[in-house]
Structure 1
Amino acid sequence: MSFARPLPMLLLTTLVLTSPIISASDTWQDAPRHPVILTVTGELGCCPSGQALFDLERLQALPQVEVRTQTPWTDQQDNYRGPRLSVLIDSLQGRGEWLEATALNDYATRFNLMAARQYPVILATHKNGQPMSVRDKGPIWILYPLSDSPELRKEEHQQSMVWQLKTLHLGR
């Protein structure tokens, strides 16, 4: 009995398992191919400049999570998809205890990362399978799984559910 895989499948598996989120010639601080929709700053082990830039493609290259939830600003439960906030921070080798999130309209809030590590808090980029527009709280919305975790239905967490997110700053 042979356990050898056909060469095309082996190459595909290798590519999928070893492909970095960005190419080897790029770094997180290099401008992505498409318009930047998120800038992350702070103590980032990945980036000597302390800054990482994301377009939608780079965010979608991170593992995606789907959350079905209703929020105080929506009328029904919807499906949201995007990377976990904790995975983004970990992929950047981020060090810190809190995040300051700023929206396109300059609304800013600071919150502890504890809940983002304990729950599947996501950077939602899609709602019900469609990319989120600025008109619909996009292109990025920090989303807590409120329907699955009633203990998160507190003002402190709702204040950190920043929509139209443009920057994150990681601090100690």
Structure 2
Amino acid sequence: MFPDSTPALQRSPRRLRPALWLSVVGAAAVTGLIAGLVFGRPAETVPFPYMHGALSAPATSAPGRAGPVLAEVVFRLIGSRGQQTFTLAQLQALPAVQYRATQPQLKRSFVYTGVPLRDLARLAGLSGQNLRVLADDQFGATIQAADYDRFPLMLAYLADGRPITAAQKGPLEVVFPNEQERTRFQNFGSQWVWFATALEAAP
């Protein structure tokens, strides 16, 4: 299992009285529900082992013909907030996770780095919905909300700290934590979408 990034709670040597204990639990439940409504995610969201939070990202466009050359758009989010485009640098500026996984077609293990699909779904306004990830050849695979909400499935852009080459199924690839969750994700090879270019709501 993945480590819980939530700091351990300090235990008080005194036991809470039943009435007080119930009020504390009730308040926590209400707080979690409000957080879910405000941030568009389930109250029971599992913490992910993030490498870093959001970083400053370059702009998506430049004014006028005399401006700097625009970076290439490599990925699109299509959801309730319209279509959003991302360059590789902009994807790398989003909060990132990292873990080792075995690429099922290559039968090779890499330490992948990328953006959790849960965060991309939130940006697209698709939290809690099944997702469809598309490749540049129009191949698509459906990713279940129950999987990306609970586990740090990612859109990976690095393998072993380097850009993912075409031979390694890059530059962008959907990665499942199949070394940490072997039983759950051992037969998900067809959902490792490589040459990924877009994410939208599943039909």
1:35 corresponds to: 72
User: Aligned letter for 1:54?
Assistant: F
Higher relative contact order (CA 8 A, sep 6+): 1
Q: 1:111 aligns with which of 143, 152, 161?
A: 143
User: Aligned letter for 1:140?
Assistant: L
What is the TM-score when the length of structure 2 is the normalising length?
0.62
Residues 95/131 of structure 1: CA separation in 2 closer, same or farther (3 Å cut): same
Q: Tell me the matched-pair count.
A: 145
Secondary structure in 1 matching 2:73: coil
User: Aligned letter for 2:169?
Assistant: K
2:123 corresponds to 1:91: yes
* C-alpha distance in structure 1 between counterparts of 2:100 and 2:186, whole Å: 18
* C-alpha distance in structure 1 between counterparts of 2:194 and 2:165, whole Å: 11
2:201 corresponds to 1:170: yes
Give the CA RMSD over aligned residues: 2.8
Please state how far the C-alpha of 1:21 moved relative to its aligned partner.
4.6
Say whether the 8 Å CA contact 2:177–2:185 is kept in structure 1.
Answer: no
Please state how far the C-alpha of 1:96 moved relative to its aligned partner.
5.3
Return 5+ residue gaps in structure 2 as ranges: 1-52, 63-68
Residues 93/119 of structure 1: CA separation in 2 closer, same or farther (3 Å cut): same
Q: Deviation per CA, 1:93-118, whole angstroms, max 9, x where unpaired?
A: 33451111111122122232220111
Q: Deviation per CA, 1:116-149, whole angstroms, max 9, x where unpaired?
A: 1111101110011111123321111000000000
